[in-house]
């Protein structure tokens, strides 16, 4: 009887703690990417001849007095960069994360955790601005920063403080309860990259919010099953799609595709927050 009672008690304590924690979530503008050949994002020819603008979104989560940054967007070097209308993929950045944090009374040193959905340059671009924070990233993705040759879209220079041993890295395998109370959970959703993750935030008033990382790039990909040919593993991608939609249905969560402007708009416009 003891072995059954203890897990039930532990679950009850976790649920109680999660409801007690004050939670707040802001969405940040971390750039955009003009895609002039959208066929790059589907191996089933869904987007031949199409173009689209991808939003690059990042998020700040307040857990009581602790602050976590989820993804760090495009590199600061893109601020003020001249446009290149001939590029198949043209990233641009109009404001850095630190400038936006200042609007809500925060500075870089207030961020103690930086969670990274995956290792591509448009998700780790400004990570080095938060070198005093612990970097939380899938172990398989962190390993790719040291690979030879480097995989697509991976730039080790963007996370140099953590590669040289001067900053703390938390390499994640499986799921991770970030604060130990069930309120914020990093979910293992591999496929786009080997260590891809998503984030579940159980807001007290808004309800659960599920941030997709790059499991898909557009909302409709959950239905059309289009997988970018540059993804690490097709079958894992499809399984991760199913996991996210299953969680969203079970928890009645807002599923936010981080590159889809219509999804990101489901959250309050910065500097307003969801709680």
Query: pLDDT tens across 220-250, in order?
Result: 999 999 899 999 999 999 999 999 999 999 9
Q: List the domains of the chain with CATH numbers.
A: 17-264 (3.60.15.10)
What is the distance between the alpha carbons of residues 107 and 231, in angstroms, rounded to a whole number? 35
3-class secondary structure, 62? strand
Q: pLDDT value at position 19?
A: 52
> Among all chains, which residue has been given the structure tokens 């173009």?
51
Q: pLDDT value at position 9?
A: 35
Q: pLDDT value at position 1?
A: 40
* Beta strand residue intervals within 149-196, DSSP E: 169-172, 176-177, 184-188
Prediction pTM value? 0.92
The two tokens of residue 51 are 């173009």
Strands 169-172 and 111-115: unpaired
Other residues' Cβ atoms within 10 Å of the Cβ of residue 143: 14
Phi, psi of 10 (to 5 degrees): -65, -40
Determine what percent of the chain falls in helix, strand and coil, rounding each to the nearest 5. 30, 25, 45
Splitting the chain (275 residues) into consecutive groups of 10 residues, what average pLDDT does each group show?
Answer: 40 46 97 95 94 97 98 96 90 97 98 98 98 98 97 97 94 98 98 98 98 97 94 98 98 98 97 98
Q: pLDDT value at position 18?
A: 42
Q: pLDDT value at position 148?
A: 96
CB-neighbour burial class of residue 112 (10 A; exposed 0-12, middle 13-18, buried 19+): middle
């Amino acid at each position: 009887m003891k072995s059954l009672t203890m897990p039930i008690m532990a679950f009850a304590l976790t649920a109680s703690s999660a409801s007690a924690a004050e939670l707040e979530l802001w969405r940040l503008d971390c750039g955009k990417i003009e895609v002039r050949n959208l066929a790059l994002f589907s191996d089933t020819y869904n987007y031949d001849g199409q173009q689209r603008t991808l939003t690059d979104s990042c998020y700040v989560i307040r857990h009581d007095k602790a602050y976590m940054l989820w993804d760090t967007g495009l590199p600061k070097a893109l601020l003020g960069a001249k446009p290149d209308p001939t590029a198949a993929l043209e990233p641009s950045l109009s404001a850095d994360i630190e400038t936006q944090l200042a609007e809500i009374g925060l500075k870089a040193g207030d961020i103690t955790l930086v969670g990274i959905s995956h290792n591509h340059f448009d998700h780790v671009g400004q990570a080095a601005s938060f070198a005093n924070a612990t970097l939380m990233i899938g172990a398989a993705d962190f390993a790719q920063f040291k690979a030879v040759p480097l995989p697509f879209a991976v730039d080790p220079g963007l996370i140099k403080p953590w590669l040289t041993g001067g900053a703390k890295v938390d390499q994640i395998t499986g799921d991770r309860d970030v604060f130990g109370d069930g309120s914020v959970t990093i979910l293992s959703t591999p496929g786009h990259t080997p260590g891809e993750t998503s984030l579940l935030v159980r807001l007290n008033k808004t309800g659960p919010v599920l941030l997709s990382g790059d499991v898909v790039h557009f909302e409709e990909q959950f239905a059309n099953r289009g997988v970018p040919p540059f993804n690490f593993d097709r079958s894992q991608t499809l399984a991760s799609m199913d996991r996210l939609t299953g969680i969203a249905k079970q928890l009645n969560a807002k599923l936010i595709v981080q590159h889809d402007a219509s999804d990101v708009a489901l959250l309050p416009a910065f500097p307003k927050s969801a709680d």
